[in-house]
Amino acid sequence: MVAGNARYVRYIIIAVFTLAVFYFVSSSKYDTVTIPSGLGKTGQPAQKGKTDESRSQPQQPIDKAKGGSDNTVTTPKPQKGDDAKSPLALTPEDPNWDAKLVSPAPGPRMNATFVTLARNSDVWDIARSIRQVEDRFNRRYNYDWVFLNDKEFDDTFIKITTSLVSGKTHYGKIAEEHWSFPEWIDQDKAKKVREDMAERKIIYGDSVSYRHMCRFESGFFFRQPLMMNYEYYWRVEPSIELYCDIHYDPFRVMHEGGKKYSFVLSLYEYAETIKTLWDSTKKFMKNHPEHLAADNAMQFLSDDGGETYNNCHFWSNFEVGNLNWLRSKAYIDFFESLDRDGGFFYERWGDAPVHSIAAGLMLNKSEIHFFNDIAYWHVPFTHCPTGEKTRLALRCHCNPSENFDWKGYSCTSRFFDVTGQTKPAGWEDQKD
């Protein structure tokens, strides 16, 4: 009897011990990346080579957790402890600075994606861009990449880009109504404008597709079904260069700093292409004063309090921005008002001045960010960070003498003045 009891006690002890071991193993946490729930990746890093099945028309929204009830999408709050363990470190002096660029990068992920509009023929040029973005940044973050095209993407494009992106890739064909003439456009008038611009040798002046592209980037990319579940985007074009390591997550800088729009290069627009854009903008401001931000950056856009446009704009081939802002009533009202006026076709309005005017008028100054650390080239301009210390710390390979920021044709100096920011040491040596 006593021997029998001892056996039962032994069984109980073994069972308790087994349960304790099981509990310990299942609840232990590795000190690596924590992907917030609700990003639709089932908590796993993106699987290499996985593409979205919904590449053919019509695009389907990616099955991700939906955001707020007012059609905005949010980045889930980081899980407890994430921020404390991995606070953003922006300079080598910050204690948490990621000097070794470990992979995968610690810290939370934002609800964000890269986005590229491209033709199948752009495949090798976008391959170059992707390789730079991955090597300098995304290999440690594995953010998704959305590719959009007015035609069906071919197998080569999908195969090459999927092999290069470390996150998940999605391919979407743009709906006809987002890449065509609206019915109120007078085709003959538009044609005459193209012929006239061709004669005057205005760049892209005779191109129909370029105009569709500019209208699409102004009013539709951010509401494509594949984009609807993301909160932030980073636009990448074919044949760009990134010259420095990116040690922190720019999406996180946007999120934690309350930023809605960002840039690396700014300049003056070719006035002949936007002759009546400011008249249309003034009409919009009169009709919708409620959309103007209290502390807006009008002084960046105008030297006479809004009477005329000085043609300053952020160069939109690079953008990191908030999609909820572009999907807001304010922005959509602005785009629709411009679209009705017809200047995408009767002139050759670019998406860069359109985005910039919107940001300058409808955002507070503090919501627009200049990324000095992201060194960038798109033909023919270079942004190379000012300050040798920064360039060495970020292992940059750009030639500082090619930095456009402080040259006479750049508007970046004006941006610093308007927003009351101190220009980086050494900026004066780089003036013309």
Compute the least distance from the CB of residue 150 to ligand GDP, in Å: 5
The tokens describing 210, both together, are 């370029």
What are the residues facing 403 on neighbouring strands?
382
Given Mg ion, ligand GDP, none, residue 149, with its beta carbon under 5 to 8 Å by kind, binds ligand GDP
DSSP reduced 3-state for 370: strand
Percentages (nearest 5) of helix, strand, coil residues in the chain: 40, 10, 45
CA–CA dist 430, 423 (Å, integer):
12
**From 61-69, 288-296, 313-321, 364-372, span contacting Mg ion (CB under 5 A):** 313-321
CA–CA dist 20, 16 (Å, integer):
6
Of 185 and 202, which has the nearer Cβ to Mg ion? 202
**Residues interacting with ligand GDP, by CB under 6 A?**
117-119, 122, 149-150, 209, 213, 237-238, 317
Compute the least distance from the CB of residue 239 to ligand GDP, in Å: 8
Residues numbered 316-345 forming contacts with Mg ion, rule: CB under 5 A? 317
Compute the least distance from the CB of residue 74 to Mg ion, in Å: 31
Of 234 and 278, which has the nearer Cβ to Mg ion? 234
Closest Cα partner for 144 from 304, 323, 8? Answer: 323
Compute the least distance from the CB of residue 193 to Mg ion, in Å: 22
What number of chain residues touch Mg ion (CB under 5 A)?
2
Given ligand GDP, Mg ion, none, residue 209, with its beta carbon under 5 to 8 Å by kind, binds ligand GDP
Of 122 and 367, which has the nearer Cβ to Mg ion? 122
What are the residues facing 116 on neighbouring strands?
147
The tokens describing 186, both together, are 């007078």
**From 247-255, 290-298, 311-319, 360-368, span contacting Mg ion (CB under 5 A):** 311-319
Half-sphere exposure of 63 (CA within 13 A, CB side): 5
Given Mg ion, ligand GDP, none, residue 223, with its beta carbon under 5 to 8 Å by kind, binds none
Given Mg ion, ligand GDP, none, residue 241, with its beta carbon under 5 to 8 Å by kind, binds none
Q: 376: Cβ–Cβ under 8 A, 6 or more apart, which residues?
A: 240, 241, 242, 243, 264, 265, 318, 382, 383
Compute the least distance from the CB of residue 287 to ligand GDP, in Å: 30
- Which residue in the block uniquely carries the two structure tokens 């909160």? 231
The interface mask with Mg ion, positions 222-241, x = CB under 5 A, is ---------------x----
Compute the least distance from the CB of residue 107 to Mg ion, in Å: 31
Residue nearest to ligand GDP (CB): 209
DSSP string, 103-170: SSPPS---SEEEEEE--GGGHHHHHHHHHHHHHHTGGGT--EEEEEESSPPPHHHHHHHHHH-SS-EE
Give yes or no: 152 in active site: no
Compute the least distance from the CB of residue 377 to Mg ion, in Å: 11
Of 237 and 256, which has the nearer Cβ to Mg ion? 237
Of 171 and 371, which has the nearer Cβ to ligand GDP? 171
Given ligand GDP, Mg ion, none, residue 122, with its beta carbon under 5 to 8 Å by kind, binds ligand GDP
Of 235 and 365, which has the nearer Cβ to Mg ion? 235
Given ligand GDP, Mg ion, none, residue 405, with its beta carbon under 5 to 8 Å by kind, binds none
CA–CA dist 199, 220 (Å, integer):
30
Distance of CA 68 to the CA centre of its chain: 21
Q: Which residue of the set 319, 336, 347, 428 is catalytic?
A: 319
DSSP string, 278-325: HHHHHHHHHH-GGGS-TT--HHHH-SSTTSS---EEE-TTSEEEEHHH
Of 118 and 361, which has the nearer Cβ to ligand GDP? 118
The tokens describing 62, both together, are 């990616």
Q: 414: Cβ–Cβ under 8 A, 6 or more apart, which residues?
A: 300, 312
**Contact call for residue 125 and Mg ion (CB under 5 A):** no
**From 99-107, 137-145, 149-157, 315-323, span contacting Mg ion (CB under 5 A):** 315-323
Closest Cα partner for 242 from 398, 405, 100, 401? Answer: 398
Residue nearest to Mg ion (CB): 237
Binding site for Mg ion (CB under 5 A): 237, 317
> What positions carry a catalytic annotation?
319
